[in-house]
Amino acid sequence: MNPFQLFKKWYTDELEKSKANIPSACCFSSNGLDGYPNARFVSLKEVKDDAFIITGSLQSRKGLELEKSSKVSLTFWWETTEKQIRIQGNAIKISDTEADTYFNERNKDSKIISLISKQGASIESIDILKKQFTEAETLYKNKDIIKPKNWGGYAIQPIKIECMEFEKSRFHKRTLFQLNGKDWIATILQP
Ligand SMILES: Cc1cc2nc3c(=O)[nH]c(=O)nc-3n(C[C@H](O)[C@H](O)[C@H](O)COP(=O)(O)O)c2cc1C
């Protein structure tokens, strides 16, 4: 089984059993402009063409960091099925057309927030944004919201994927898949 098949099998199992509100949550780490690793949670949109898709603002801290370095990691902990997945790879910006599709799947409130918020910029009071939200709600009452230019997504193309099954005995089952040309080489790691 290649790592994508294994990921899908484990993820499907977790989604079926999990009671979490956001079971797609995963920790996305990039190289901070200050040299420190920078991690935050995002939601995995899907696994497509052997890449892990995430979306969001292109001009927030992560967007600026990804312009400088595409090297990233994505980490999952699936509480219900007790599995961890660690991915290292390169984040490549998806096309505007692909981003449009993901944007259109968002609910209206999320679309408005994406439109009005300069994610990560400072603001004197959140009330300013709330006022802009109400104004936008009225303006777009009967109108579609088109994806803003600064909103998009990234396809994380992995080079390493480690799948770990947590074991109460502490003999965790760790399999490291490493990309070698077009092939994935699997190695068993000690717990
Ligand atoms: C469970 C969860 C899911 C999130 N999903 C996303 C997401 O899909 N995209 C996104 O840009 N931010 C998401 N966020 C917010 C990010 O953690 C973060 O605050 C935001 O992206 C700004 O990060 P940055 O300043 O490093 O760019 C999520 C946060 C949580 C707690």
pLDDT digits (tens, 9 = 90+) for 44-77: 999 999 999 999 999 999 999 999 999 999 999 9
CA-nearest residue, atom 11 of ligand 1 = 56
Query: What atom in ligand 1 is closest to the CA of residue 40?
Result: 17
The pLDDT value recorded for residue 88 is 98
Task: Answer for the pair 3, 180: CB distance below 8 angstroms, yes or no.
Answer: no
Task: Give me the torsion for CA of 58, 63, 64, 68, rounded to 10°.
Answer: -120
Average pLDDT score over residue span 169-190? 96
Cα of 40 to ligand 1 centre, how many Å?
A: 6
- 181 contact partners, CB below 8 Å, separation of at least 6: none
What percent of the chain has pLDDT above 70?
100
Cα of 54 to ligand 1 centre, how many Å?
A: 10
pLDDT in tens, 78-106: 999 999 999 999 999 999 999 999 999 99
Task: Answer for the pair 88, 73: CB distance below 8 angstroms, yes or no.
Answer: yes
Residue 153 corresponds to which tokens in the numbers above? 């997504």
CATH number listed for the domain at residues 3-105+148-189: 2.30.110.10
Domain boundaries, the chain: 3-105+148-189
Query: What atom in ligand 1 is closest to the CA of residue 57?
Result: 11
The pLDDT value recorded for residue 12 is 98
Task: Answer for the pair 10, 3: CB distance below 8 angstroms, yes or no.
Answer: no
Average pLDDT score over residue span 142-171? 96
Average pLDDT score over residue span 27-44? 98
Report the predicted TM-score, pTM, of the whole model to 2 decimal places.
Answer: 0.96
Residue 181 CA to residue 76 CA, distance in Å, equals: 25
Taking CB atoms and a 6 Å cutoff, what residues make up the pocket around ligand 1?
22, 25, 40-43, 54-57, 60-62, 119-120
Q: Is 103 helix (H, G, I), strand (E, B) or coil?
A: helix
Cα of 56 to ligand 1 centre, how many Å?
A: 7
